[in-house]
Amino acid sequence: MQTVIRQLGRVDYLPTYAAMQAFTAARNPTNTDDETLQPNQDERDELWICEHLPIYTQGLAGKSDHVLNPGNIPVVQTDRGGQVTYHGPGQVVAYPLIDLKRAGYFVKEYVYRIEEAVIKTLAHFGVTGHRVSGAPGIYVRLDDPFAHAALSGPAHPGDRFRGLGKIAALGIKVSRHCTYHGVALNVAMDLEPFTRINPCGYAGLQTTDLSTIGVSASWQEAADVLGQKLGTYLAA
C-alpha cells in the first residue's frame, strides 16, 4: 500500500509529538497480537516531513547528565528510544507512521530500512553515509565525505567515532506494531546547540550537516529526496 507523504513545514515539536501519538492510538485496534484479526486495508500509512524550532528531546533511556548546558532551549521528555538529541531549523525530520504487521517486517529491519533510505539520500548528493555498529544513525567521514571506501574496524571501542561526524539521528517508538518518531537529517543548520549535549549519549561525538561538508542543498530539496527514499524503502 502506498504511503501518504505529508509535508508539514516548520512546526512546533510538542503539538507534532501529540499528533503522532493520537494518530497511532486511533489506528485500527486489530493491530494486536491476536493473529485471527486482520489490519484494516483501507487505513493508510503516513510519512510526515517537517522542520522544528530549537528543542532538545530525551529518549526513554535519556540521562540528565548528557544535557550539559541547554540554555534557553527547552528539553522535552519523550517516549522514543535512545538518548538526547537536538532538533532545529535547517534539519529535515521524518516521522514514518507505519503498520509493521501489515508491512511484513520487524523492528530491526525497519531501522535498517530507515538508515538505508538516509544513505541513499546522501548518495543523491554525492555523499557516502556509513553505519556504526551499536550506534544507530548515519555518519560521514569528516576528512572526505565523498569517499566510497568502507569504514575499517576501530583499534579499540573508543576509536569508533574517530574521524566521523553524525549527520542523521534515529529514534523510534513502536506501539501495537505501529511506528512513530523517526529520523532527522542535518541539512544546513546551526550546529552549536549540539555542543551543549552529549549527542545520542556519546560524549564528544561530532555532528555535521550537508552544508558543512560542502553540499549546497535547500531544506526542501533534501526533504523531497528523503521523503521519496523513505517511501521506497519502507514499502512492503
Whether pLDDT at 191 is above 60: yes
Q: What residue numbers bound the domain in which 180 lies?
A: 4-233
Whether pLDDT at 9 is above 90: yes
Residue-level pLDDT at 1: 58
CATH code assigned at 17: 3.30.930.10
Whether pLDDT at 41 is above 80: no
Q: Select from 165, 199, 158 the least CA-distant residue to 63.
A: 199
Residue-level pLDDT at 36: 44
Q: How confident is residue 149, by pLDDT bands cut at 50, 70 and 90?
A: confident
Terminal C-alpha separation, the chain: 8
Compute, in degrees rounded to 10, the torsion defined by CA atoms 114, 157, 62, 187: -40
Residue-level pLDDT at 156: 46
Active-site residue list: 200
Question: Across the chain, what does the average pLDDT equal?
Answer: 91
Query: Each residue of 71-82: pLDDT tens digit?
Result: 999 999 999 999
Total structural domains within the chain: 1
Q: How confident is residue 113, by pLDDT bands cut at 50, 70 and 90?
A: very high
The number of C-alpha atoms within 13 Å of 171 and in the hemisphere containing its C-beta is: 25
More confident residue, 36 or 175: 175
pTM above 0.85, yes or no: yes
CA distance 110 to 90: 25
Q: Select from 179, 171, 160, 200 the least CA-distant residue to 66.
A: 200
Residue-level pLDDT at 31: 43
Residue-level pLDDT at 29: 54
